[in-house]
Chain A
Amino acid sequence: MKEFPSSPNPPLSPPKIGIFVGAGASHSWLWFVDLLDQWGLNDVRFINEKEILIGALEGVDSLMMSGGDTFAMARSLGAEGSRRLKHFIEEGGLYIGTCAGAYLPLRSSMAFLNQFNWINVKISNISRRLSESERGLFQEHACTPYGCEFVYHVAREDVLLEMEGGHQANGSKKVIAPLYGGPSMLPSEDMQAIATYRGFTEKTKFLVREDLAEKTLHGNIAASRKRMGKGYLYIFGPHFEHPNYPEANGILARIILREGKNRATRSFRPEPPSSKTGQSFFEEWRRELSHSRMVAFGLEMLPIRWMIGNKWYEPEKIRVFLEALWRRLNYLESGEGVDVTPEDQKGMINRLKETTGLLRTMKKEHDRAQSTNGLAEDLFLLLKKVASDFLTIYFRAKRTETVRAQA
């Protein structure tokens, strides 16, 4: 697990970017972190639904909504969250949604989701479009209940896409990106297609017969754009932000750079910097992060997993968060410190200690053959907070370095 590579040429004035880390966001928000870091887009903050409700979107130009659970996102944001998001976009904000984040603004009659009916489009991967015999066939496989219907999925991993509207990867209109349950949309006048499903690769994993997969996806829309007031919604079925797909990453990054600065953003945290982190802070951070990751590593060797929501969580997922921080720790340690209030420093260390404590308790309870599901739920909530706190100061340090270098 090597250190995270730094960006070669950070832009002079990057857009202010918010990454949604609230209810429903899966770990794929960390893929956005990698992408933005790679592209030197380092004016980044992390936002949850509660912060959206108290105006956090005022401080950003763009919002990244990652994959995860669309229902949970919609439920937690509610009508007020929807209103604020809509206002943000109409005032010039850029909304980028992948997978669950792409489903969110699509027209729906379902409770909570119907508060986000911003794009009038139908998806092709819904059961009402199937014959009776096909319904039975699909229902046996991967699907998500959707009222009386269900949203179904025909393939995972690589899908071949054709870019439209001037979007290209290295001069080619063909690009590959991975699909993990994201939507396939029927053409609609309410939006402009920017990518169409064109086929599969040898890495595609079919969840149904290939001809049925082709029928569902081929020629339908994988990514689209819609103007809303002064801003734009970009939605992506496949994960263009996945770290192993640099060409798709490039398309996404260029959209952020081009469309992501249409607002006159105000500072999200107007208070003047109060205190710089010293070496002791990072040493303490390294100590505790080391404690957490070693227990997490040990859990990976145990026959253990947790049902959270309706998904199984493997212990490996814990270290996905911790390694994202570990890989960036050397950078912070070798720098001149970052502006963080003493209270925030203390809070960050305490939460990391709490993470270690939870992990140790889980290990003990497992050894005593006790259930650890409740502890795991608490842990994954805490990990989001711990990771986003740390990455906030990481990007702050990166931003400071860029500004100094440019000065």
Chain B
Amino acid sequence: MSTSTTTRRRGVLGTSALRPDGLPKVQGRFAFSSDAWADNMLWGATLRSPHPHARIVSIDTSGALAINGVSAVITADDVPGQLTYGLISNDQPVFARDVVRFAGEPVAAVAADHPETARRALAAITVVYEVLPALTRAEEALDTGTTPIHPDGNVIRRQRIVRGDQSFAGDVVVEGTYDIGMQDQAFLGLEAALALPDDDGSGVELFVATQWLHEDQKQIAACLGLPLDKVRLTLGGVGGAFGGREDISLQVHCCLLALATGRPIKMQYGREESFFGHIHRHPATIWMRHHADRDGTLRRVEARVLMDGGAYASTSSAVLINAVTHVQGPYRCENATVDGYAVRTNNPPCGAMRGFGVVQACFAHESQMDKLAAACGLDPVTIRLKNAMRTGDRLITGQVVESVAPVERCIRETAALPLPPELSEHPDALQLPGGSGRTARRNNVTRGIGWGVSIKNLMYSEGFDDYATARCRLANGVATLQFATAEVGQGFVVLAQQIARSVLGVDTVLLEPISTAIGSAGSTSASRQTWMSGGAVDGACRLVRERLFEQVAREHHIDPLRLTIDGIDVIDSAGDLRVSVEDASRGLVIDETFEHHHRATEELDENGQGNCHVAFAFVAHRAVVDVDTELGLVKVVQIATAQDVGRVLNPLAALGQVEGGIAQGLGLAVMEEIVLVDGKMRNPSFTDYLLPTALDAPEVVVSMIEEPEPQAPLGAKGIGEPPCISVTPAIVAAIRAATGKDLARVPVRPQDIVFG
């Protein structure tokens, strides 16, 4: 037996290092933002409009103020700074003043000594509304004859993409119109915050669950009319996000109440309010026409994308750009004609959700690829392999895909994963569609297999510099990291420790509180934090290591370039010096801060041409479903997936992202939809908005494709979004295969299968 000196140390990159917040979380000791508490605190609560569109005639708060235990009631008149906010345009009021534009829009807020007192106070506020006709159909919003419902107009953004031969007609042409329903992020940890006013009333400290502390800080400070440094944010424990915490929800209200009362204010939404209090995934209607040669070679894509942004812009313009620039999917295509619109309606506002516009585009283009396969007499795998994009191919925006692009390998490796066994003749009821309801009969169950493949951009696009900042301090063999990267559950806290251990040869890595005390890390979204904040932590640790090497080199009169880290030691690669990092850093404090910026991108021109994206990741999904064709019930049996990840930095965490994303894509495929009738939500609860449970979770078989990405600081691509993108069309394709139905919308409902 030989002893290896290359045994990987515990907790370094490439190992399944355990997350530092794991034990506190399982023991109930981890402080989520909803657990924040302060002496003398009051409870804040929000009054919301019951109407999707109405003029506010009057607001009388006297009834609420007369209730014992109520300390403050605030409305739009009490906003000292900017009256509106927004991630891209400031079009959303802190409180509605003259008009409400969606059912659930905030109108007033109260502070009281008990949640029940606050609820009664809300009920005692009298708002007189003059109800207006609601604009609830996206198509109507495009009509120039429709009265604008907002000073900024009803079209949030239009973007065309025109490339290649605009009159090209293929030998084979297929078309379809696809609808995607409104999905909710449904993070478990409801919106919550605690605001502490400064003693002199000149500023405020906010503990909040969010995805981007510095963006919140900027928007809050503007609305409070305070300088940035008077609004200090610390991340409260975040119970999931998935895009739903990018926008401001209760932050400004909570701070306003704290400043108005001079007391700490705790605000937390219930589940119903959460459905009204954050944005959702855009419902979309997408028409596509694909042109191909007889052999299945894709030649032209035509598309019209219409996304319902709801009442306020949020990130709609960026979501639209993602959708229109991804309509070709992960396939070569030289000719394209795309017209995209994000419009304003009196529906609830929509914005970021995992997949960010690409989910919608992917359902349409993958449905089209199956139609094209059928029209060309090919199977779903062959047509996808035939057109699979490679590094160096051009997108319909003219941008060259410089990223590693193993699309073909994703498809082949997925196809090679084992299929599940056939459903037995006498299955347990729990294995049947319908589950424990025992509603499916074995004889009515048909199995189907379907495919989906996707491309997803990573990081922010269109010229945005979403940099990330990190600081590393080394003293006595212990590294301390500081960053403002929102840990929302994805596990950046463990990745940061792994990076420091690998770069610096330390075992103990401490983490400072996540706050605005350091520069921005950008948003925990767009699959970007491993790349961006990972790059920042890596950069800071490398600067510290350089300083350490200089110190050791000075002491030993050697060239610092000869020094390297081996395990937990600094060694001379050209000599026999070996000194532990702990000894080498004794008595020193080395402190470095690093900003990581990705390469610059461009805005699209009027024809949708330009290098607007930073990088791309790819994934393939194969779904196996059992369908009760008589009752329209679906059981997703298995999802096989091969994902282009660049490099696996933590196998356990990576698997968790893949499995978790697949469950959300399954939800969109067969369960999850916010049902709107005349602009009002009909199912804002976990009783009526269905989420995948442990009985709905399919078997997931995974192949991680590791081809390190040269552009990425750690060789690793972001892995958060791809799992939830093409799994949805794969499941729907499998249901089509089992039923022969067209199924042009998601989620697929029982009636779509039975009567569709």
- Report if A and B associate in a common complex: no
Query: Could you tell me which A residues sit within 8 Å of B by CB distance?
Result: none
Q: Which residues of B contact A (CB under 8 A)?
A: none
